[in-house]
Structure 1
Amino acid sequence: MIFREVENELETTNNAKVTVKATIQAPVDKVWEFWTEPVHITKWNQASEDWHTTRAENDLRAGGKFSSRMEAKDGSFGFDFGGTYDEVKLNESIAYTLGDGRKVNITFKSQDNETEIIETFDAETMNPIEMQQQGWQAILDNFKKYAEQTTM
């Protein structure tokens, strides 16, 4: 991996992939619904308590688009996150391409009354890989907490 300083920002010049995982104590049909339905996405999709997702839209099918708006609760910063689905297999996997061309693959592994989510994404070049991994893991951990504490 090669790092270089670019206008005070760290840029990586490789095509690193990052993986985050969590095991949710819930059946896959509940996990899938909470992961994909906008009414649920807006409740868990943030890396920390000082952020929130103000809106989410999801056309869950190959060729369908999704988007969400993530903002700091104090209004100091916000950004849109979105892309296009490449493949959707109900209760099994989701693959999509982000607006900047990076790929994301999510696998839902069901066993008894729990579901493991494995998310692998292409790292971006503006932030250190460790920061990206921590941010995506924090969002996944928030999902786990929400899904385990919320009834259908």
Structure 2
Amino acid sequence: MPYEYRFMLNASLETVWYSWTQPAVMRRWVSCPDFWQCISAQNELIEGGAFQFELHGRNEKWSRSIEGHYSRIKAFREIHFCIQKQLLGSIFINRKTTGTEVIFSLSGHQLPFTDQPLDVEGLLARFIVECEVSCLIVPDATLLGRVRNRIHQQ
């Protein structure tokens, strides 16, 4: 059963894209603070490229590697992905006069490696905070330009 979340962000399209795609930023919002944190994130943002998150539990007895790949990417517009060969997801990003609209969908709320539900709302809430706080600390414009050029070249 697919789930869809729509929300507006008080952030630029570039900031939203940056927050969703840059490993150092992803580590901050891909977490479940009461139970686990992301200690490592890797991201090869090309069609067919892979991503990986290393998660460690707060009790240090639990750890998991979450892997996936990208099936379709339109720079600064949309990303389609698959997690653990089972969950299909997508994110669409649209510039609006009032901010940036984000549409996120996921095929299920169950991660394949656990019987615990996936806290999608919590992840998205941390993503929203990351985007809106990042507006206060604007990433270097040349960095965004290099990211945009790299994506367009691939």
Please give the range of the TM-score, normalised by the shorter of the 2 chains: 0.7 to 0.9
Q: Give the letter aligned to residue 27 of structure 2.
A: T
Q: For residue 95 of structure 2, what is the aligned residue in structure 1?
A: 110
Q: For residue 73 of structure 1, what is the aligned residue in structure 2?
A: 58
User: 2-side partners of 1:24 and 1:39: how far apart?
Assistant: 20
Please give the secondary structure, in 2, of the residue aligned with 1:118.
strand
Offset of 1:74 from its aligned partner?
2.8
| TM-score, normalised via structure 1 length | 0.77
Q: Give the letter aligned to residue 102 of structure 1.
A: L
1:1-150 alignment, distance < 5 Å: 16-112=1-97, 114-123=99-108, 124=110, 127=115, 131-132=117-118, 135-150=119-134
| TM-score, normalised via structure 2 length | 0.76
Give the structure, 1 or 2, with the largest relative contact order (CA under 8 Å, sep 6 or more).
1
Q: Is the 8 A contact 1:47 1:136 kept in 2?
A: no
Q: Is the 8 A contact 1:84 1:96 kept in 2?
A: yes
Change (3 A) 1:148 1:78: same
Q: Give the letter aligned to residue 78 of structure 2.
A: S
Structure with the higher strand share, 1 or 2: 1
Among the aligned pairs, what percent are the same residue?
Answer: 19
Structure with the higher helix share, 1 or 2: 2
User: 2-side partners of 1:82 and 1:110: how far apart?
Assistant: 29
Please give the secondary structure, in 1, of the residue aligned with 2:48.
coil
Unaligned runs of 5+ in 1: 1-15
Q: Is the 8 A contact 1:26 1:113 kept in 2?
A: no
Moved more, 91-100 or 104-113: 104-113
Q: Which contiguous aligned blocks of 4+ residues in structure 1 show a shift greater than 6 angstroms?
A: none
User: 2-side partners of 1:55 and 1:24: how far apart?
Assistant: 26
